[in-house]
Amino acid sequence: MIDPVVSTDQLAQCLGEADLRVVDGSWFMPAEGRSGQEEYLRAHIPGAVFFDIDAISDKTSDLPHMLPTPDAFAQAAGGLGLTRDVDIVVYDSFGIRAAARVWWSLRAMGFTRVFVLDGGLKKWLAEARPIETGEAHPRAGVVAPLFEGSLVRSAEDVRELLITGGARLVDARGAARFRGEAPEPRAGLKSGHMPGAANVPFDQVVGPDGTLRPAEELKAIFAAAGVDLAHPIVTTCGSGVTASVLALALARLGLDDTAVYDGSWSEWGALEGAPVAIGP
């Protein structure tokens, strides 16, 4: 079993190597009033390119940062110098949040040598490690389109698994949103959760220093939420970002085939007739 995260020490030792690519995947909710790209330009890990999950997305969908077509993704990844014959380390400025979405997106598009920096830029800066400013100018690569559909679920897939029980939905949103006690940050969405879903807020699996919790703690967290790790799992959240954090946590436990519901509550909460549960 290969751990999906790497430490700041490990990354520092490998910076500059020919078969390594570093990616800044920082992203923020509109209400946070921050720009991942602007912050990248002000400070990033040397050699890092910026992966914009909103720009590299399905432009035909009105849902936020949905996966684009394999062709479009391959073109964007190649333009950033990301190819399948190198190791890719993704980080974000939160610690572990949007980096997990980039990690999952790359894996869903056939990239296997992808890791997340444990603690992200926050830990890197706290350790007074080197940074750069401004734009990067990567050497473009040629990437063939691929798609690992087993890692992605649609609304139709979720409807089916609610009927068949083929997988357990695990929701990464905060408890108040999950129970329907707090309004959704995106307008026009119902409150609540998919019937039968478990709730593991993503900040439970990430420690206060922004690092992913150890395996034994992760097992206890999922067990406390009533999640059977021996049963297939599909993660969900508001828009597929923090659902990817849960997928990353499960990958640390050896469950590296966990699927993410790409549309998540941004889609489900607006679907007419989609079943919704309120409460625990």
CA separation (Å) from 119 to 43, 160, 167, 222, 238? 16, 36, 30, 21, 22
Give φ, ψ of 206 to 5 degrees.
Answer: -115, 130
Please identify every residue annotated as catalytic: 237
Residue 272 structure tokens: 């007419």
Residue 165: is it exposed, middle or buried by C-beta count within 10 angstroms (0-12/13-18/19+)?
exposed
Residue 192: is it exposed, middle or buried by C-beta count within 10 angstroms (0-12/13-18/19+)?
buried
Q: What is the DSSP string of 152-195?
A: EE-HHHHHHHHHH--SEEEE-S-HHHHHT-S--SSTTPPPSB-T
CA 176 from chain centre, in angstroms, equals 21
Residue 231 per-residue DSSP state: S
Residue 247 structure tokens: 């997928």
